[in-house]
Amino acid sequence: MGDTSAHRAVSELGTILSVWAHPDDECYLSAGLMALARDNGARVLCVTATRGERGTDDPVAWPPDRLGPVREQELQRSMSILGVTEHRFLGHCDGEVADVDDDVGVTQLAEIISELDPDTVVTFGPDGMTGHSDHVTVGRWATIAAQTATSAPRVLHAATDPAVMAAVDHHFDTFPVYGDDGPPIIDRNAAAVILELPDETLERKVASLAAQPSQTEPLIAHMGEEDYRNWISVEVFVEPEKPV
């Protein structure tokens, strides 16, 4: 393993709890971080709130009881590629997370934090990256659970790099990945962690996303492999501006 700035930055994060809403969220936003942490020998636990059973434009061909198990298997393959051996589902319904009482979700994650005692919790910011209500809710749960934990782990919210987005944002005019407000682009000076992924780590991230073809194949085809790789080549995280 080469001694890169990305490896050094991740080594400072210690044990990591990575909390997301649907399978593939974790890979898009933190696959590099998780892979680098595992390369460093750190413990990583990834938590997913739902099985993403409604993540399709064709619910007739892919009803929830068929798609859910497929996405669970895809996620398992992705985690294996990244070297992450610990994963848990919270068991909520895709698309209905916002209807769950915050106390329920926060308590679930607080129990995991108490058990794992992470140094860092990585999750969505209040924008949910795409504005998806499941994303927004899960990010709020994880942030509250971390900020109220006795152990007080550091909280990092996923964001996007301005230079990367400027180069690829034309793709999203016709493939609306982000919400009406666009992605949470931040000034690099405001970032807590910026990971420009080493080539080997980026290759694993690409492979981890390709291992979830039910979600990623259409976007890869739309963007083209080069732009897709560039889009996911930098992972950016910010600290919460204030307690939730």
Round the CA-based radius of gyration of the chain to a whole number and report it. Answer: 17
> What is the share, in percent, of the chain residues with pLDDT greater than 70?
99
Residue 158: what pLDDT? Answer: 97
pLDDT at residue number 1: 44
pLDDT, tens only, 50-69: 999 999 888 899 999 999 99
Is the pLDDT at 214 greater than 90? The verdict is yes
- What pLDDT is attached to residue 2? 46
Percent residues over pLDDT 90 in the chain: 89
Angle at 192 between CA 110 and CA 43, to 5 degrees: 45
Fold annotation for 5-238? Rossmann fold (3.40.50)
Query: Any idea how long the chain is?
Result: 244
Task: Compute the Cα dihedral for 189, 8, 228, 220 and give only its sign.
Answer: negative
- State the chain's mean pLDDT as an integer: 95
On whether the CB atoms of residues 65 and 224 are closer than 8 A, the answer is: no
Q: What is the DSSP letter of 190?
A: G
Domain spans of the chain, in order of start:
5-238
The pTM of this model reads 0.95
139-195 pLDDT, tens digit each: 999 999 999 999 999 999 999 999 999 999 999 998 989 988 888 888 899 999 999
The pLDDT confidence band at residue 125, using thresholds 50, 70 and 90, is very high
Between 185 and 203, the more confident residue is: 203
Task: Read off the pLDDT of each residue in 30-39 and give the average, rounded to a whole number.
Answer: 98
